[in-house]
Structures are given as C-alpha cells and as structure tokens.
Amino acid sequence: MQKSGNSEIFFSQDAYGAPLVEINSGGKTIFVISDLHLAAGINKSSNYEGTENFFADQSFVRFIDHLEKKDPAGKALLVINGDFIDFLRICNFPDADQDFSDWEEMLQIVGITKSQKELRDSIVKKEKTFGLRTNDYKSVWKLHVCISGHKDLFERLALWVHNGNELIITKGNHDLEWYWRPVQNYLQYFLAKLLSQKLQLPIVTTLSVIISLTTFADHSIIIDKKIYIEHGHCYENSTAVQGAVLSDNQQELNLPFASFFNRYLVNKIELVYPFIDNVRPRENILLVLFRERFPLALKMIFYYVPFTILLIPKKMWWPVFKYAITFFLIIILPIAITGYAIYKSLPHESHPQDTSWILQQILNIGQNLGFLLLSYLFGRIMTLVKLNPPASFVSYAENIFNKNNALQVVTFGHTHNPEQKNNSGKWYLNTGTWMPIFEASSADVRIDKTYTFLHFDYDSAGELIIHPLQRWNDDALRDDELALIEKS
C-alpha cells in the first residue's frame, strides 16, 4: 500500500507476470495493435525531437472513439502488442529543481524511496548525452516524460478503461522496461490521475477501475485458447535478450545488442536526420545517408559506429564482432581499397595530349568503382544469408500452430510489415505499425500501410469471426480493409 496525499493507493509489488498469460474474453470484441513507438512527444517548445516516431495522437484518439462506437455496449478488449512505449528513444533527463522534486514524488507513489540528492547523484555524464539507463526508478522517469508528451492519447486510453473496456500490454524489445513493476504501477496511477482530473472523481475510485482492467504480459498471451499474440522480437538475434533478464548488477535490464545501437548510434543520427531508422529496406539506410547527408554518413562510419562498439558490454563482444566484421568487409574495406587504388593511379606527371593516358585513367576509375559495386553486391548476399532481421514470421507462426492445434490465429508485430496468410483456416497476421515508414526502393507504397489493427468478434453461436487486416482511415473517420499484395 502506498499513500498519495490523503488517498490510499494499492499497488501490486510482486514480480513480473508469467511468460504466457491466458485471457478469457467472455465473448468481447477484440482489437490488436502494435509498434506505436511513443517517445518523448511534444516538448516545451511545442516541437517533436528527432527521436520521436509517433505523431498520430489525435488520430489515435479518434480511432479509440470509433472502436467504442462499433460496440456501443462497450466491454471490448484492446491489446497493444509490444513497442508501445519506445523507452530507448527517450533521451530527456531531469535537470531543474522542480524535475527532481516531481521525480521524488512519483517514485514515492510507486513504492521507491530516493532523496533528490540521491537522484541527482545517480545521473552520470553519459546519461545526459544518451538518456537514462534502465534502472526501475529511471524507467519511471522516462515513462513520465512520455505520458506528459502524449497526454491526450493516455487520457483517451484511461477513458477506454473507465468505460468498462480492457487494456492488455505485451512487452517488445523497445519497451523491455515494462519488466519493472513500479513502471507498470506508474502507468496505472497516471491513467487514474488523468481520469480523476477529467471526471472529478476520487483517485482511489479511478485507480481501482484501472488496475482491475489492465494487464501486462511478459512475453505472449492466448485469448480464448484461439488467438495467440506475441511481439516477435525474440525471433531476431539482435533484438532477443540473451541470458538473464537483469544485468550482473541486478539493478539494470540485460539489453539485447540492437538496443545499444539504438541508444548510442541511431538516436544520435536521428537528432540530425530524423526517421533514418524508418527507411525500408534497412540495407538502404547507408545509401540514403551517403546521398542525402554525406558528411553524416562518414561520421557514422568512422566515429559513431566505433564509439558504439566500445560501449557494448563485454559479454556481447561476440555478436558485436560478428556484425562489425561484416560491416568492415562490405563497407569499410571496399571504400579503403578504392580510395587507395585511386590514389595510386594518380600520375606524377600529367600528359593531357596523350590519348592512351586519358583512356588508362578512365579504365582505372572504372576498375576502382567496381570495388564499391562489389561491396553493394556483397551486402545483398549478407541479407540473403540472414544477417538482416526476418521480413516475415510466417515460419514461426507455423511452428506455433503445430504445437497447439486449437489455435485459429497467430499474430506478431515487430517487423512493421503488415501481413496476412490463411492456410486452411489458420490465420497468420502481422499488425504492422503506426509509425511512418519511408520506402527507399520497394514495390509497395507505404502511405496506406500504417494505422493498422486487427479486429475479432464472435457470432451468435460463439464462433470466432476473424476480420482481414484493417486500417484506420483518419480522413474518412472509418476503418477500411488493408490492401495487401500477395508476393511469392
């Protein structure tokens, strides 16, 4: 039991929930979304920072309004399947005296006692550059920053729950910090606080509703023994947590390899050139930087990447080495060889009237550029041999179906690629993302591939109705079926 003012607030302090959570919907309508990637939101200057990827707060509010209109009786169930909050992209840290006073107070609410001096002393220089680490009390601060920057969205979620609907949150690789019970508790408290202020109700009343209708799942959930929901990051080596949940000091989370690259590399680049991590296909990221921000591309290769590698924990040196040697072979080495070859081919004396000399220089340049072409081709080969993340989780869905024949649906997120496959009544679905995606080279137009969601309900006989992938059309204020192209 924690106290806030004159109100007594009850929070659970036990460990994180079971890896697999079974849910009985009771025949409720079910909606599933994923990969919102909310970061710090609107700052004090009413701007978004470069690391923010979610700009659809008002669209999301209208979307939730629409969901409730679809089922006027209420009692629906909304699952946010991983990467709801992008803790990795929240770089803000407390600075002013009021910040530390607020931080101390919010920690007291969720059962953590730390003085303002302790909080000040806990922030090291590196955190002021890259954002706070993953301690429970620092994760609470990051969640507070996110909620404050996306207040309308969280207020609407609070109303969703207040109206009798359920909210389920599963963990993704960008919001591993849901592991901490105080972080979960703070979300519940703040939702209750927003409700209390909006509806003029005691916070104890609103909090009891929020706690009773919100669920956190550590890994995956099964609804009505028919729908399996998992984020999917565990199927990618660079985003799967290797080993124990906590690091050796037992005070911070054991982050996967890709999290360090997001924290120390991608964030720094996106502060200068936003959305670079949203470019698809991913192997074109460096090409885009070379074309659009050549000095930044060089800085990434020769400063940011080596610096990031130095910050990786020792236990992750092998995966770092594997990726670093690949990067060296397909990028650094060809560029170095090409530069050296061009330098060696330069004549000590010019012969402007010698036609054979001019032809020789043209051939030399062509030969040297060939090294860069080989680098590009080699990079594509590396993609084919699975050094890039999987584009689809179809094969993993098939394995899950084979282990549980009663399932009718397996759905993932994570890839940001919406998908649907129906094999003899067994549906594999991927919910895509609510982030903007920029296609550098593709056969898809991605403007209609965001704001995606799943919709399930039951007929009068209690049979599950599986609707095709939907997209919230915010211009027309309706949901449309998502247009996907079948590809071999």
The CATH code of the domain that includes 234 is 3.60.21
Classify residue 339: in a domain, yes or no: yes
Classify residue 390: in a domain, yes or no: no
Per-residue pLDDT band for 370 (boundaries 50, 70, 90) equals low
Classify residue 484: in a domain, yes or no: yes
Q: What is the pLDDT of residue 227?
A: 98
For residue 385, is pLDDT > 50? no
Q: What is the pLDDT of residue 362?
A: 67
Per-residue pLDDT band for 47 (boundaries 50, 70, 90) equals confident
More confident residue, 129 or 3: 129
Q: Is 294 helix (H, G, I), strand (E, B) or coil?
A: helix
Task: Mark whether 309 and 454 lie in a shared domain.
Answer: no
Classify residue 398: in a domain, yes or no: no
Classify residue 247: in a domain, yes or no: yes
pLDDT, tens only, 417-439: 899 999 999 999 999 999 877 65
* Domain end residue (candidates: 384, 417, 440): 384
Per-residue pLDDT band for 444 (boundaries 50, 70, 90) equals very low
148 token code pair: 């404050």
Task: Mark whether 200 and 291 lie in a shared domain.
Answer: no
Task: Mark whether 411 and 312 lie in a shared domain.
Answer: no
Task: Mark whether 87 and 10 lie in a shared domain.
Answer: yes
* Domain containing residue 199: 1-252+406-488
Looking up tokens 């999301």 gives 60
Task: Mark whether 339 and 198 lie in a shared domain.
Answer: no
Task: Mark whether 70 and 204 lie in a shared domain.
Answer: yes
Q: Is 409 helix (H, G, I), strand (E, B) or coil?
A: strand
pLDDT, tens only, 447-478: 566 899 999 999 999 999 999 999 999 999 99
Question: How far is the C-alpha of 138 from the C-alpha of 134, rounded, in Å?
Answer: 6
Task: Mark whether 13 and 100 lie in a shared domain.
Answer: yes
Task: Mark whether 168 and 282 lie in a shared domain.
Answer: no
Of the given ranges (155-169, 248-262, 346-360), which has the lowest mean pLDDT? Answer: 346-360
Cα atoms in the Cβ-side hemisphere of radius 13 Å centred on 178? 25
More confident residue, 173 or 338: 173
Task: Mark whether 375 and 426 lie in a shared domain.
Answer: no
For residue 157, is pLDDT > 80? yes
For residue 283, is pLDDT > 60? no
DSSP β-bridge partners for residue 363: none
Per-residue pLDDT band for 399 (boundaries 50, 70, 90) equals very high
Task: Mark whether 188 and 323 lie in a shared domain.
Answer: no
Structural domains counted in the chain: 2
pTM of the predicted structure, to 2 decimals: 0.81
Classify residue 396: in a domain, yes or no: no
Question: How far is the C-alpha of 229 from the C-alpha of 221, rounded, in Å?
Answer: 5
For residue 56, is pLDDT > 60? yes
Task: Mark whether 360 and 417 lie in a shared domain.
Answer: no
Q: What is the pLDDT of residue 200?
A: 94
For residue 358, is pLDDT > 90? no
Per-residue pLDDT band for 249 (boundaries 50, 70, 90) equals confident
Q: What is the pLDDT of residue 326?
A: 60
Q: What is the pLDDT of residue 3?
A: 41
Task: Mark whether 480 and 427 lie in a shared domain.
Answer: yes
Q: What is the pLDDT of residue 2?
A: 44
Count of H-run helices and E-run strands, the chain? 17, 18
